């Protein structure tokens, strides 16, 4: 097996090294306590002393140190107590995914204070390049957002704003529109009227306002009243 292509979980115990080949995404989730079947996490149900060389740990050592030779039970211990060793390729994929999510967060939640419109994702990505933003694959997109904003603000005017919209949705569309409304923002207050219509006040990221209005107007075939609270 090639080490560069192996994502491993590794544990050093009693002077010995124990390694297993794992699916990186599932191993990280398993380590965090998500309820997964260990068989799905493992690429091979074997315990190695050196996975790169394909050298298996002697069964006698497994029994001596783990008090079992069951590779599934031992694998659980290795993942929970050891370290996840990720390939450079997987780490690069993780950074790219985090970057895309951060760009999406900025695009959807911030506006250009000059135009009152969201910045296109391509422009945000260009600011990342110009500011030489470094993505940390070990941190969530949300955890990195503030630091990255401080890096790109000199290049990209940004303002995080909320819009407050009050919608009057006719009875024919009111029940089915709930999930769409909830998806786009925070419901501040709502009322189901005696005629079956729905009055709802929604707080929504300013960058999503135009998209939402287009969606809800299309969904209700234009039979909707929308009022925006003056800021």
Q: Do domains 3-85 and 162-228 have the same CATH topology?
A: no
Distance CA 231, CA 228 (A): 9
Structural contact between residues 187 and 200, judged by C-beta atoms closer than 8 angstroms:
yes
Q: What's the whole-number mean pLDDT along residues 113-138?
A: 93
Please give the sequence-ordered ranges of beta strands (E in DSSP) within the chain, or none if there are none. 8-13, 16-21, 48-50, 55-56, 83-85, 110-111, 159-160, 162-169, 186-192, 198-205, 225-228
Domain 3-85 has CATH 3.40.50.80: no
**What is the CATH topology of the domain spanning 162-228?**
Alpha-Beta Plaits (3.30.70)
CATH class of the domain comprising 88-159: mainly alpha
Evaluated on CA atoms 212, 214, 220, 224, the torsion sign reads positive
Structural contact between residues 81 and 69, judged by C-beta atoms closer than 8 angstroms:
no
Whole-prediction pTM = 0.62
Sorted by sequence, the CB contacts under 8 Å of residue 165 that are 6+ apart come out as 201, 202, 204, 209, 212, 213, 226, 227, 228, 229
- β-bridge mates for residue 20, sequence order: 9
Domain extent listing, the chain: 3-85, 88-159, 162-228
pLDDT tens readout for residues 164-220: 999 999 999 999 999 999 888 889 999 999 999 999 999 988 777 888 999 999 999
Sorted by sequence, the CB contacts under 8 Å of residue 172 that are 6+ apart come out as 223
pLDDT tens readout for residues 132-155: 999 998 888 878 888 999 999 999
């Amino acid at each position: 097996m090639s080490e560069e292509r192996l994502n491993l979980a590794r544990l050093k115990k009693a002077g010995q090294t124990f390694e297993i080949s794992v699916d990186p995404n599932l191993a990280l989730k398993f380590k965090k306590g998500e309820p997964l079947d260990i068989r799905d996490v493992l690429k091979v149900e074997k315990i190695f002393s050196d996975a790169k060389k394909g050298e298996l740990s002697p069964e006698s050592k497994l029994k001596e140190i783990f008090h079992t030779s069951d590779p599934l039970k031992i694998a659980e211990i290795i993942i929970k107590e050891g370290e996840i060793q990720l390939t450079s390729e997987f780490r690069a994929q993780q950074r790219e995914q985090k970057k895309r999510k951060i760009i999406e967060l900025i695009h959807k939640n911030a506006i250009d204070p000059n135009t009152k419109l969201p910045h296109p994702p391509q422009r945000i990505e260009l600011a990342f390049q110009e500011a030489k933003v470094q993505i940390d694959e070990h941190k969530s997109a949300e955890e990195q957002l503030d630091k990255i904003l401080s890096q790109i603000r000199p290049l990209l005017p940004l303002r995080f704003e909320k819009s407050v919209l009050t919608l009057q949705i006719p009875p024919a569309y009111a029940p089915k529109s709930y999930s769409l409304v909830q998806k786009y923002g925070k419901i501040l207050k709502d009322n189901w009227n005696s005629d079956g219509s729905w009055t709802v006040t929604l707080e929504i990221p300013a960058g999503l306002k135009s998209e939402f209005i287009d969606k809800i107007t299309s969904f209700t075939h234009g039979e909707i009243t929308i009022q925006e609270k003056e800021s």
